[in-house]
Structure 1
Amino acid sequence: MTEGKELTTWLDKVLTEIEGIEIRRKSSRRLRVDVAADALPALLELLRGRASYVHLSAISCVDWLDDGEFELVYHVWSYEMQSLVSAHTRIPREPGIYISVYDIYTPAAFFERDIHEMYGVFFEGSPDMSKFILTEWDGPPPMRKDFDSEAWVNDHFDWQNYNPEWLQEIIAQGGGIAVRPDEQRFSRKQ
């Protein structure tokens, strides 16, 4: 058996210590683990402490609007095993609260803050949930699938007819916008 195969088998065996997880091997260097929300911190502790997945490269969020859930994906890398584990868990959209893993992976604070700002998920125990990109933003979290950016813009800005001379020249030569954006879209009220 090759060393890589031995490490893969060893990791699969270690992961069975967490109950109720589903493991899908994407390749020899990529593993997807689906885990219940209450078991995710234990999985991350196990990966970091016993399996050398010491680098949290990202936490991403997917809004499953029809399911009423957010999917949080924790991407952890092992320099020793040269492999990536993506741990997937789902939480209810409402109230949209989960536990911070800052105490396991310090960089989690940045990713949690970003997800809070863009999706509205609050991470209990995270050191800072304040805005850092959308500091002047007063709207709802803009990455949620139920956020209607066009409606928000229409409610907050006045449209002005923008028709400078240079654009008029382009239109006179046959260029420019053929159909206005508001004429292209289907009305959401239909």
Structure 2
Amino acid sequence: MSTQLPDVLESVFQEMPHLVFEQQGARRLRLKPRAEALPTLLELLKGRAGYLHLSAISCVDWPTTDEFELVYHIWSYEINTLVSAHIYIPKKPGHYVSVYDIYTPAAFFERDIHEMFGVYFEGSPNMAPFILTEWDGPPPMLKSFSSLDYVEKTFKWQDYSPEWLKEIEAKGGGIVE
């Protein structure tokens, strides 16, 4: 793709008021739609521009602005271009609409983001934990999460001194302090 957009993208972008975009490479675009416009943009890109492959949805915790950044990475096999659509949502309440009805694989990414960041996706088919099934702490990918504090509150410390280690230490080996 040159610095000029393909006609099919020009057509889609004209229907999206306030859409900001920048070309980041020969086959890569960064889009910044308004959060409420993202589902419409994804529908247009899928239906008119052949963006059939949702590669990933990622999340960034921005504590200084009290927002989450959600990034939707989609690929078009027709025009061989990756689009990354970046939206921002407030941390409180930390809810956004699911795009599962547009891209079925979104369910997996939304579930992962919910588990790791606490973002709830309205309409997603399953928000139950699948990695941290026995976890009772806060979402561990939040920048405010302290693993040291969690460990100190959750676990009891005890000295580890098995017999085999005592024998090694008696011979001058083992742990050096």
* Structure 2 length-normalised TM: 0.89
Whole-Å separation in 1 of the counterparts to 2:126 and 2:176: 45
Q: Which residue of 1 aligns with 2:146?
A: 148
CA contact (8 A) 1:112 1:126 kept: yes
Given the alignment of the two structures, is residue 9 of structure 1 paired with residue 9 of structure 2, yes or no? no
2:54–2:105 contact (8 Å) kept in structure 1: yes
Percent sequence identity over matched residues?
Answer: 57
Superposition CA RMSD, Å: 2.2
Of 114, 121, 125, 1:127 maps to 125
Give the letter aligned to residue 88 of structure 1.
Answer: H
Find runs of 4+ consecutive structure 1 residues off by over 2 angstroms: 4-9, 162-170, 175-178
Aligned partner of 1:34 in structure 2 is 32
Provide the rounded CA distance (Å) in 2 between the counterparts of 1:84 and 1:176. Answer: 52
After TM superposition, the score normalised by the length of structure 1 is: 0.83
C-alpha distance in 2 between matches for 1:59 and 1:177: 46
Cα displacement string for residues 25-56 of structure 1 (whole angstroms, at most 9, x for unaligned residues): 01111110011110100110111000000000
Report the CA distance shift for 1:67/1:167 in structure 2 as closer, same or farther (over 3 A).
Answer: farther
- Is the 1:55–1:76 contact (alpha carbons within 8 Å) kept by the matching residues of 2? yes
Who is 2:20 aligned against? Answer: 22
Please give the secondary structure, in 2, of the residue aligned with 1:47. helix
Question: Which ranges of structure 2 fall in alignment gaps of 5 or more residues?
Answer: none
Larger mean CA deviation between 56-65 and 159-168 belongs to 159-168
Label 1:103 to 1:169 Cα distance change in 2 as closer, same or farther (>3 A). same
Paired residues, what number?
Answer: 174
